Amino acid sequence: MDLQTIQQHPTFRQLASERTRLGVAMSIVMAAAYFSYILTIAFWPRLLGYPLWSGTVITWGVLVGVGLIALGFLLTAIYVRHANSRFDSLSQLLLEDLR
Amino acid sequence: MTSRSVYGALIATAFVLPSGPAAADALTAATGTQQPLNATAIAMFLGFVAISLGITWWAARRGTSTAKDFYAAGGGLKGVQNGLAIAGDYTSAATFLGVTALVYTSGYDGMIYAIGFLVGFPMILFLIAEPLRNLGRYTFADVAAYRLSEVPVRAVAGVNTLVIVVFYLIAQLVGAGKLIQLLFGLPYIYAVGIVGVLMMIYVTVGGMLATTWVQIIKAILLMSGSVLMSILILGHFGFSLEALFRAAVTLHPKADAIMAPGGLVKDPVSAISLGLALIFGTAGLPHILMRFFTVSDARQARTSVLVATGFISIFYSLLFVLGFGAIAIVSANPQFRDASGALVGGVNMVALHLADAVGGSLLLGFISAVAFATILAVVSGLTLAGASAASHDLYARVIRRGRASEHEEVLVSKAAAVAISLIAMGLGVLFENQNIAFMVGLVFAIAASANFPVILLSIVWPDLTTRGAVSGSLAGLLASVGLVALSPGVWTAALKLGPAPFPYDNPALVSVPLAFAVSWAVSVLDRSAAAASVRASFGAQHVRAQTGLGVE
CB contact under 8 A, B547 and A12: yes
Could you tell me which residues are beta bridge partners of residue B77?
B295
Average pLDDT over residues B521-527: 95
Nearest-CA residue of chain A relative to B121?
Answer: A72
Provide the mean pLDDT of chain B.
87
Give residue B17's pLDDT: 33
Tell me what pLDDT residue B268 has.
79
Give the per-residue pLDDT at B34. 54
**Do the chains contact at A56 and B242, CB–CB below 8 Å?**
yes
Residue range B210-215: mean pLDDT, rounded = 94
Q: Whole-model pTM?
A: 0.89
Cα–Cα distance, A73 to A60 (Å, whole number): 20
Q: Is A19 on the interface with B (CB under 8 A)?
A: yes
- Checking if the pLDDT of B265 tops 70, the result is no
pLDDT tens, position by position, B423-475: 999 999 998 877 776 777 788 889 999 999 999 999 999 999 999 999 999 99
Do the chains contact at A26 and B122, CB–CB below 8 Å? Answer: yes
Mean pLDDT of B165-176: 88
- CA dist B166 and B379 (Å) reads 10
Confidence of residue B7 (pLDDT cuts 50, 70, 90): very low
pLDDT digits (tens, 9 = 90+) for B108-129: 988 887 787 788 889 999 999 9
Contact B514, B453 (CB under 8 A): no
- According to the model, what pLDDT value does residue B36 have? 65
- What residues of B are in contact with residue A20 (Cβ under 8 Å)? 460
Q: What is the predicted ipTM?
A: 0.93
* A3 CB within 8 Å of a chain B CB: yes
- Contact assessment for residue B216 and residue B62, using Cβ atoms and an 8 Å cutoff: no
B3 touches chain A (CB under 8 A): no
Tens digit of each residue's pLDDT (9 = 90 or more) over B10-50: 343 333 333 333 333 333 334 445 566 678 888 888 999 99
Count the Cβ atoms, other than its own, within 10 Å of residue B224. Answer: 12
* Chain A residue at shortest CA distance from B314: A69
Number of H helices, E strands in chain B: 23, 0
Give the three-class secondary structure for B430: helix
Comparing CB atoms, the residue among B299, B316, B540 nearest residue A69 is B316
- Is residue B498 left, alpha or beta, with left meaning phi > 0 and alpha meaning psi from -120 to 50? left
Rounded Cα gap, residues B15 and A68, in angstroms: 21
Chain-chain contact of B306 with A45 (C-beta, under 8 angstroms): no
The chain B residue lying nearest A2, using CA atoms, is: B540
CA distance B521 to B65: 43
Assess B71–A contact: CB distance below 8 Å, yes or no.
Answer: no
Tell me if B272 and A62 make a contact (CB, 8 A cut-off). Answer: no
Strand pairing partners for B343?
B337
Q: What is the dihedral of CA B104, B108, B114, B119, to 10 degrees?
A: 180
User: Which residue of A lies nearest to B274 if distances are taken between CA atoms?
Assistant: A38
Chain B hits for A46, Cβ within 8 Å: 260
Pick from A57, A66, A88: CB nearest B256: A57
Of the listed ranges B130-134, B257-261, B315-319, the least confidently predicted one is: B257-261
| Per-residue pLDDT, B551 | 54
Task: Tell me chain B's radius of gyration from C-alpha atoms.
Answer: 23
C-alpha B261/C-alpha B129 separation (Å) is 33
User: 290-349 in B: which are within 8 Å (CB) of A?
Assistant: 298-299, 302-303, 305-306, 309-310, 313, 316-317, 320
**A57 at B interface, C-beta within 8 A:** yes
CB spacing of A43 vs B268 below 8 angstroms = yes
- The DSSP result for chain A, as a single string, is --HHHHHH-HHHHHHHHHHHHHHHHHHHHHHHHHHHHHHHHHH-GGGGGSBSSTT-S-BHHHHHHHHHHHHHHHHHHHHHHHIIIIIHHHHHHHHHHH-
Burial of B192 (0-12, 13-18, 19+ CB in 10 A): buried
Contact list in B for residue A91 (CB cut-off 8 A) is 547-548
